[in-house]
């Protein structure tokens, strides 16, 4: 990529560049605070020392084994869902589009619940490796988004139809999830409850490694595919005139968004509204520049979920309240605000 093309991709005038730096700084401070907070407070400088290979043995044990996986998983999951939301909002040209609204989150959660129901035994142990869990989430997410496209039919390019059918599929997935929990043994319901609400409190290093292994390759492919997002703002005929098959490209972006969401939901649970809020705020901060939009969306998604997890640890200690409840409390009113604002602008 030439220097001129790279500059156009970042499109960072002064205020936007400052916004990127500020958001990154907030993320770093919140990340250190999330790792430091617990039954015993560990200062940010001590946390940083441990992360760089120093620190006392006790601090290293608490930071590296007990707290870091939880905070890192929240950051990865929040960033991945926000990334998916950014892709969906750009490809549909609608700020209401998100993995939750289009049924992807609930479809992935249903896939995980079915995975637990089928492959758990009465000792609360999986009978297959946990590495298969993201595949179950991916199948659920892809099935959900596939049904949305199928029901939309020839009018799948209509954003409103996609969102309406997405909401319907999300409701259906929630209902099926509840049914499978009710008809299954109580040990299955207890395991599945974590994914329904969205929680990162029991995540271990093995699960974090699987999240990395799944999400990094998908994220790279999505970044490469996102180079065509500006032409995707055109109508079908105009996009075809510059060599972009928009219907196929749209399906590909939806698939990547589903995989990003599945990789996060598989271990962090059905976290709602992160994919709606983060890209929207990112657009307000840095405009429509592709690279800064993606970077800031990912950072804001990580901030939201890490912050939500830290908030519930501070407010409800020693209880473990799912972080997804905080994102839902914040996100649902925000979604209604966007919906009413869009309705007023159309009316």
Kindly report, residue by residue over 108-127, the tens digit of the pLDDT.
889 988 888 888 777 767 78
Rounded distance between C-alpha atoms, residue 164 and residue 96, angstroms: 11
**Tokens read off for 116:** 């637990």
Does 202 have pLDDT greater than 80?
no
Measured between alpha carbons, how far is residue 3 from residues 11, 155, 241 in Å?
12, 40, 26
Can you name the residues that pair with 126 across neighbouring β-strands? 120
Q: Which residue has the tokens 């196929």?
A: 248
Kindly report, residue by residue over 301-335, the tens digit of the pLDDT.
999 999 988 888 887 766 667 777 778 788 778 77
Rounded distance between C-alpha atoms, residue 341 and residue 118, angstroms: 44
Kindly report, residue by residue over 126-162, the tens digit of the pLDDT.
788 888 888 999 999 999 998 988 887 765 556 678 8
Rounded distance between C-alpha atoms, residue 330 and residue 308, angstroms: 10
The alpha carbon of residue 118 and the mean position of all alpha carbons in its chain are separated, in whole angstroms, by: 25
Helix (H, G, I), strand (E, B) or coil at 55: coil
pLDDT at 342: 62
Kindly report, residue by residue over 31-86, the tens digit of the pLDDT.
999 999 887 889 989 999 999 888 888 999 999 998 999 999 999 999 999 999 99
Helix (H, G, I), strand (E, B) or coil at 111: helix
Can you name the residues that pair with 120 across neighbouring β-strands? 126
The hierarchical CATH code for the domain 3-346 is 1.10.3470.10
**Tokens read off for 58:** 């006790």
CB 294 within 8 A of CB 86: yes
Does 103 have pLDDT greater than 50?
yes
CB 88 within 8 A of CB 98: yes
Mean pLDDT of the chain, nearest integer:
83
Give the other-Cβ count within 10 Å of 124's Cβ. Answer: 11
Show the CA angle centred on residue 11, arms to residues 9 and 17, nearest 5°: 125
**Tokens read off for 316:** 């409800």
Q: Would the CA dihedral through 160, 166, 167, 168 be positive or negative? A: positive
Rounded distance between C-alpha atoms, residue 135 and residue 260, angstroms: 12
What does the pLDDT average to over 280-290? Answer: 89
User: Nearest Cα to 172, choosing from 256, 81, 115, 102?
Assistant: 102
pLDDT at 21: 92
**Tokens read off for 224:** 């490469």
Instruction: Return all residues near 278 (Cβ < 8 A) that are at least 6 apart.
Output: 78, 81, 82, 85, 86, 297, 298, 300, 301, 304
How confident is residue 10, by pLDDT bands cut at 50, 70 and 90? Answer: very low
Rounded distance between C-alpha atoms, residue 159 and residue 155, angstroms: 9
Instruction: Give percent of the chain above pLDDT 90.
Output: 35
pLDDT at 182: 78
Q: What is the pTM assigned to this prediction?
A: 0.87
pLDDT at 232: 65
The alpha carbon of residue 83 and the mean position of all alpha carbons in its chain are separated, in whole angstroms, by: 7
Question: Which position has the higher pLDDT, 275 or 230?
Answer: 275
CB 111 within 8 A of CB 262: yes
Instruction: Give percent of the chain above pLDDT 70.
Output: 84
Helix (H, G, I), strand (E, B) or coil at 243: coil
């Amino acid at each position: 990529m030439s220097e001129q093309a790279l500059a156009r991709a970042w499109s960072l005038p002064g205020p936007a560049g400052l916004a990127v730096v500020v958001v990154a700084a907030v993320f770093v401070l919140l990340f250190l605070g999330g790792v430091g907070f617990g039954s015993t407070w560990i200062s940010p400088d001590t946390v940083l020392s441990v992360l760089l290979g120093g620190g006392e043995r006790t601090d290293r044990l608490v930071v590296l084994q007990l707290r870091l996986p939880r905070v890192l998983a929240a950051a990865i999951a929040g960033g991945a869902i926000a990334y998916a939301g950014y892709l969906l909002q750009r490809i549909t040209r609608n700020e209401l589009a998100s993995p939750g609204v289009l049924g992807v989150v609930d479809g992935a959660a249903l896939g995980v619940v079915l995975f637990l129901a089928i492959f758990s035994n009465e000792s609360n142990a999986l009978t297959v490796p946990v590495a298969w869990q993201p595949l179950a989430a991916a199948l659920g997410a892809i099935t959900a988004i596939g049904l949305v496209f199928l029901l939309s039919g020839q009018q799948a390019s209509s954003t409103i139809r996609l969102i309406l059918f997405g909401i319907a599929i999300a409701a259906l997935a929630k209902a099926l999830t509840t049914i499978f929990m009710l008809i299954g043994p109580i040990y299955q319901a207890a395991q599945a409850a974590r994914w329904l609400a969205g929680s990162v409190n029991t995540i271990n290093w093995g699960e974090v490694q699987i999240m990395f292994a799944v999400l990094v390759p998908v994220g790279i492919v999505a970044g490469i595919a996102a180079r065509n997002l500006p032409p995707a703002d055109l109508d079908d005929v105009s996009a075809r005139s510059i060599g972009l098959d928009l219907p196929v490209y749209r399906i590909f972006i939806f698939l990547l968004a589903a995989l990003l969401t599945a990789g996060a939901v598989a271990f962090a649970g059905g976290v709602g509204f992160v994919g709606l809020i983060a890209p929207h705020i990112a657009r307000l901060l840095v405009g429509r520049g592709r690279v800064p939009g993606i970077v800031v969306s990912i950072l804001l998604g990580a901030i939201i979920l890490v912050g939500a997890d830290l908030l519930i640890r501070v407010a409800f200690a020693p209880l473990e309240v799912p972080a997804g409840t905080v994102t839902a409390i914040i996100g649902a009113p925000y979604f209604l605000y966007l919906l009413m604002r869009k309705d007023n602008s159309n009316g």
